[in-house]
């Protein structure tokens, strides 16, 4: 990919959108509703790779010659299971209880698609929570309502400040995008249209 591309970000996540603003890249946001269902046999990064590519496939036949589409997906992988966005308070409470006093993995895949090529990268970060009391979980869920976040928490929010004792790997990956890897990919592979 040695030509100039315009970046199209297909993400409604305010955190991902902010990261692209922080890159100082010009980009356009285009959104499509995609049902995030994956085959049961997939594990860990296979799931996020599949979902990031599924989101990109929704744009088949719609990209221009000089457009680069970026899609992504994040899950929390814990005890051999993918924890996505919680359905409701009870689900979120159960998820955070399971993450309490334990280490889990946050996996984000990012798919880069042009009309001729699709490439996907992923990042894994290990996050350890100290023990979380029921009252702390209840307070967090009622005040911050993290129902749009994989694993029912945002590392940059109150629960991350008071509850996370250790992180191994990319911090921004846990927020929702492995920025260093994405920036490296973009600057190595393409010329961006200003």
| Domain extents in the chain | 4-192
Residues 34, 106: Cα–Cα separation, whole Å: 21
φ, ψ of residue 21 in degrees (nearest 5): -65, -40
> Does residue 154 sit in helix, strand or coil?
coil
Q: Which two tokens stand for residue 65?
A: 């010659």
User: Do 34 and 58 form a contact (C-beta atoms < 8 A)?
Assistant: yes
pLDDT tens-digit profile of 131-161? 999 999 999 999 999 999 999 999 999 999 9
Specify the pTM: 0.92
Based on the number of CB atoms within 10 Å of its own CB, is 42 exposed (0-12), middle (13-18) or buried (19 or more)? middle
pLDDT tens-digit profile of 67-102? 999 999 999 999 999 998 999 999 999 999 999 999
Residues 61, 50: Cα–Cα separation, whole Å: 19
Q: Which two tokens stand for residue 144?
A: 């911050």
Give the active site residues.
73
Q: Which CATH number is associated with domain 4-192?
A: 3.90.950.10
DSSP secondary structure of 121-134: EEEEEEEEEPP--H
């Amino acid at each position: 990919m040695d030509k100039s591309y315009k970046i199209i970000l297909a993400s409604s996540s305010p955190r991902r959108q902010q990261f692209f603003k922080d890159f100082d890249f010009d980009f356009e946001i285009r959104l499509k509703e995609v049902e995030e269902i994956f085959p049961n046999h997939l594990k860990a990064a296979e799931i996020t790779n599949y979902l990031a590519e599924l989101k990109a496939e929704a744009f088949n036949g719609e990209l221009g010659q000089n457009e680069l589409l970026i899609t992504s997906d994040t899950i929390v992988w814990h005890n051999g299971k993918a924890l996505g966005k919680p359905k409701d308070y009870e689900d979120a409470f159960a998820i955070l209880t399971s993450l309490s006093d334990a280490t889990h993995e946050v996996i984000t895949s990012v798919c880069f698609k042009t009309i001729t090529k699709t490439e996907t990268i992923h990042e894994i970060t290990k996050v350890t929570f100290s023990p979380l009391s029921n009252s702390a979980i209840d307070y967090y869920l009622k005040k911050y309502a993290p129902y749009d976040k994989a694993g029912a928490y945002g590392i940059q929010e109150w629960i991350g400040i008071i509850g996370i004792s250790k992180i191994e790997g990319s911090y921004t990956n846990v927020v929702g995008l492995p920025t260093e890897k994405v920036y490296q990919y973009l600057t190595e592979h393409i010329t961006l249209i200003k």
